[in-house]
Amino acid sequence: ILGRPGVDGMSWIEGWITPELRALLDAVFAKLARPGMCNIDDTDSVAATATVVDSKVLEAAARRDRRDAGQRTHDALFALLQPGVDPTKLGSHRGLPVQAIVTMSLNDLERGAGVATTASGGHVSINEALKMAEGTKPVLVVLDADGLPLYLGRCQRLASPAQRLSLIARDKGCTRPGCEAPASMCAVHHVTDWTKGGPTDLSNLTLVCDHCHALVNDSAEGWKTVVMGKDSPYRGRTGWIAPKSLDPTGAPRVNDRHHVGEWVAAAIESSCHRWGSRAA
C-alpha cells in the first residue's frame, strides 16, 4: 500500500513482499544500505554507481553517517531507482557480485520440494529458487556428509569468491553462538589468524559479522575461535571460546541459529528438560 502524501509531502508505504523479492532486495540493500553508502545528505558518501569501493573512503563516510537503518534503506532504494543506475552493474559486496545467493540441498533439489536458504537469512521454496536461477549461471558447491565443502586452498590472505560461496553454503551466517547476522553481513575470518600461520583454506575460514569479529583478540576479555575436532558432533565447524569472565569452563560452542534443524532440536530438548524438571 502506497499511501497518499501528507501535508509534509511524505508518503507511508506498507505491505507484504514475496520471499523471492525479499532475497533480491536484501542482496542490493546489503551493499547500498551500509553506513556510508548512498547518503543523500552527504555529497562525499559512496554512490550506487561505484563498482569499486575504496574502503578508506567508505569508513570515513560511515563515521559521518547519522542515519538509522530505515533511513539507509530509503536512501538505497532512492539511489537504485535513479536514471542511469543499472541493477546488473552494482559491482561487488564483500568480494561477491551484488546478487541473491541461494543454498539448497541435493536431496531437496532432486525431490523438487523443501526450502532453500538465502545469504541474507531468508527462505524460499525449491521451485521458486529454481525459477530465480533461470537465465543465470549457477555455482554448484558439493558438501560432504558432515556438511563441509570440498577442500579449496589459497596461499593468499584474502579468501577467493569461490571460498566465500562455500562458506555461505556451510555457515549460512555469523558463527559466534547466539548471533543472528546472516551471511550477507559477514566477513571471512581466519580461525587461526593469518599472522600466526593460519592458512587461507576452507578448513581455517569462517563467517563472522563485523561486531563479533571485533570481539576476537588475545586480551583477557577476548573471544577465541577453534575448529571443532573429530570427536565433536560438530566436526569441522567453528567453535567459539568465551572469555573466562563469561564462561570459566572455556568450552568451545557453535552457533545453531542458522541451522534450522539443530535450532529446533535444541529448543525441543530444552523444552522437554524444563517440563521433566517440573514433573519431578
Q: pLDDT per residue over 86-129, tens digit each? A: 777 776 666 666 677 777 776 777 677 777 777 777 778 877 77
Burial class (CB in 10 A: 0-12, 13-18, 19+), 115: middle
C-alpha distances in angstroms, 196 versus 137, 190, 214, 225, 243?
37, 10, 17, 13, 20
Q: Is 268 left (phi over 0), alpha (psi -120 to 50) or beta?
A: alpha
Dihedral sign of CA atoms 194, 195, 198, 204 in order: negative
What tens digit of pLDDT does each residue of 172-181 get? 899 999 999 9
Tell which of 84, 118, 133 closes a domain: 133
The distance from CA 243 to its chain's CA centroid, rounded to whole angstroms, is: 25
Specify the pLDDT at position 248: 92
* Dihedral angle of Cα 205, 182, 78, 97, to the nearest 10 degrees: 40
User: In this structure, which amino acid lies at residue 43?
Assistant: T
pLDDT, position 61: 93
Q: What is the pLDDT of residue 92?
A: 66
d(CA 165, CA 11): 39
CB-CB neighbours of 58 under 10 Å? 18
pLDDT at 151 over 50: no
Residue 184 belongs to some domain of the structure = yes
Residues 167, 120 share a domain: no
Please state, in angstroms and rounded to a whole number, the distance separating the CA atoms of residues 99 and 119.
10
Whether 120 and 60 map to the same domain: the answer is no
Q: How far apart are CA 38 and CA 79, in angstroms?
A: 6
Q: Is residue 251 part of a domain?
A: yes
The answer on 38 and 118 residing in a single domain is no
Question: Do the domain assignments include residue 250?
Answer: yes
Q: Is 84 domain-assigned?
A: yes
pLDDT of residue 152: 41
| pLDDT tier for residue 238 given thresholds of 50, 70 and 90 | very high
Of the listed ranges 50-59, 144-153, 213-222, the least confidently predicted one is: 144-153
DSSP string covering 78-147? HHHTSTT--GGG--EETTEESS--EE--HHHHHHT-SEEEETTS-EEEHHHHHHHHTTS------B-TTS
Same-domain status, 208 and 240 = yes
- 252 and 169, same structural domain? yes
Q: Is 70 exceeded by the pLDDT of residue 135?
A: no
Under the banding of pLDDT at 50, 70 and 90, the label for residue 265 is low
Is residue 156 pLDDT above 70, yes or no? no
| Whether 168 and 78 share a structural domain | no
d(CA 84, CA 234): 48
* Number of structural domains found in the chain: 3
pLDDT tier at 225, thresholds 50, 70, 90: very high
Residue 221 has pLDDT above 80, yes or no: yes
Q: Is residue 200 part of a domain?
A: yes
CATH number for the domain including 229?
1.10.30
For residue 40, what are the contacts with CB-CB under 8 A and spacing of at least 6?
75, 78
Looking at the fold, whether 127 and 72 belong to one and the same domain comes out as: no
Contacts of 60 (CB under 8 A, 6+ apart): 36, 44
**Residue 216 — φ and ψ, nearest 5°?**
-85, 115
72 class by beta-carbon count within 10 Å (0-12 exposed, 13-18 middle, 19+ buried): buried
Question: Predicted confidence band at 235 (pLDDT cuts at 50, 70, 90)?
Answer: confident
**Are residues 80 and 111 both part of a single domain?**
no
Answer for the pair 205, 191: CB distance below 8 angstroms, yes or no. yes
Q: Which triple of cell numbers denotes residue 148?
A: 563441509
Answer yes or no: do 89 and 123 share one domain.
no
Could you tell me if 250 and 227 lie in one domain?
yes
The verdict on residue 75 lying in a domain is yes
| CB of 163 closer than 8 Å to CB of 152 | yes
DSSP character string of 158-182: SPPHHHHHHHHHHH-B--STT---B
Task: Flag whether 129 is in a domain.
Answer: yes
Q: Is residue 39 part of a domain?
A: yes
**Owning domain of residue 28:** 19-93
Q: How far apart are CA 272 and CA 219, in angstroms?
A: 38
